């Protein structure tokens, strides 16, 4: 009888597997999906999936007993099943944890969550929110918390400039007529996105050559470097606006449609972009979870149920 009691003490309540198996399979450091885990531990797919979902439920239960007071909120999105199908990832930027997953990126969905967050999440001390350059996020936050400062996430601002650089580079490569010109433009994808301190000897030799053959591409590299350096300066929003205005004037002198469009975006987000210098917050750590998010995106094809997908992410990402 005693052995029976000891044995059952190691069984997870209402389940047919042990606590040790539960802890190993649900370890958030793993990067395997349910099918891989099932094969690895010799258990059924449904059992592996049940363990992963239970891990997410356990985190939510712990949070209800130990509420999280959020001061810096991150709002980011990931594509669940391809272009146009997004879920919204809400994070605590101080604790660097995932708070919740919303089924879409609509303003009304975000407003509903901000107005009545789930049990265990307290927003009364919210002071800053970092978002990408999607106006519905900014408008949604300001409609619920008009006095909270919205910060345009640095990573996404620079990423938008990278897209401009790629577009201009591709056009130049497509317009190249001679083999020499095509050779000059080959392999520029990563060079144009490199910071000065990361340049190799070969890069340092190639940039002056690029300035001679394709000055517009070289000036784009310089502009990107200047924007990077601008973000590194320790200053206040008021001074940052002055130097950003100088950058915009220099950028417009290149008379590139894609770059001009980017400049208009910066102008319309000027307050949120320069708010970065008041509180240097960024949701970039979400991008640092890329390996886990990529796994989750792959297994999303097998999880049509949004609630299950939400639990998997919460259980998977610390």
pLDDT tens digit string along 58-85? 888 888 899 999 999 999 887 766 555 7
Give the pTM. Answer: 0.84
Closest CA to 317 of 282, 298, 290, 281: 290
Q: What is the CATH number of domain 68-152+282-287?
A: 3.30.420.10
pLDDT tens digit string along 148-172? 999 999 999 999 999 999 999 999 9
Q: For tokens 């939400």, what's the residue?
A: 310
Contacts of 304 (CB under 8 A, 6+ apart): none
pLDDT tens digit string along 230-247? 999 999 999 999 999 999
Q: pLDDT value at position 5?
A: 37
- Distance from C-alpha of 189 to C-alpha of 299, rounded to nearest angstrom: 30
Ordered strands of the 86-92 beta sheet: 97-102, 86-92, 72-79, 128-131, 149-152
pLDDT tens digit string along 259-309? 999 999 999 999 999 999 998 998 877 766 555 666 666 655 455 577 777
């Amino acid at each position: 009888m005693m052995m029976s009691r000891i044995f059952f003490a190691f069984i997870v309540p209402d389940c047919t597997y042990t606590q040790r198996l539960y802890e190993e399979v649900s370890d958030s450091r793993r990067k395997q999906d349910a099918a891989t885990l099932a094969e690895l531990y010799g258990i059924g797919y449904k059992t592996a999936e049940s363990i992963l979902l239970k891990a997410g439920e356990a985190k939510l239960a712990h949070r209800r007993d130990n509420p999280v007071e959020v001061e810096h909120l991150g709002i980011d999105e990931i594509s669940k099943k391809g272009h146009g199908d997004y879920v919204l990832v809400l994070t605590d930027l101080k604790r660097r944890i995932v708070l919740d997953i919303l089924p879409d990126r609509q303003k009304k969905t975000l407003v509903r969550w901000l107005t009545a967050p789930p049990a265990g999440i307290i927003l009364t001390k919210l002071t800053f929110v970092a978002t990408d350059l999607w106006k519905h996020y900014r408008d949604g936050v300001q409609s619920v918390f008009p006095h909270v400062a919205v910060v345009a996430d640095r990573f996404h601002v620079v990423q938008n400039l990278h897209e401009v650089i790629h577009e201009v580079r591709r056009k130049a490569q497509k317009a190249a007529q001679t083999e020499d010109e095509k050779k000059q433009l080959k392999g520029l994808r990563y060079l144009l996105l490199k910071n000065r301190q990361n340049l190799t000897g070969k890069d340092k030799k190639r940039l002056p050559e690029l300035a001679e053959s394709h000055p517009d591409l070289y000036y784009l590299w310089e502009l990107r470097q200047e924007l990077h350096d601008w973000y590194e300066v320790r200053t206040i929003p008021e001074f940052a606006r002055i130097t950003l205005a100088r950058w915009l004037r220099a950028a417009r002198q290149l008379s590139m449609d894609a770059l001009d469009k980017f400049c208009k975006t910066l102008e319309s987000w000027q307050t949120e972009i320069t708010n970065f210098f008041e509180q240097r917050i960024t949701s970039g750590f979400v991008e640092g979870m890329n390996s886990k998010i990529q796994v989750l995106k792959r297994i999303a094809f097998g999880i049509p149920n949004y609630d299950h997908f939400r639990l998997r992410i919460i259980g998977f990402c610390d």
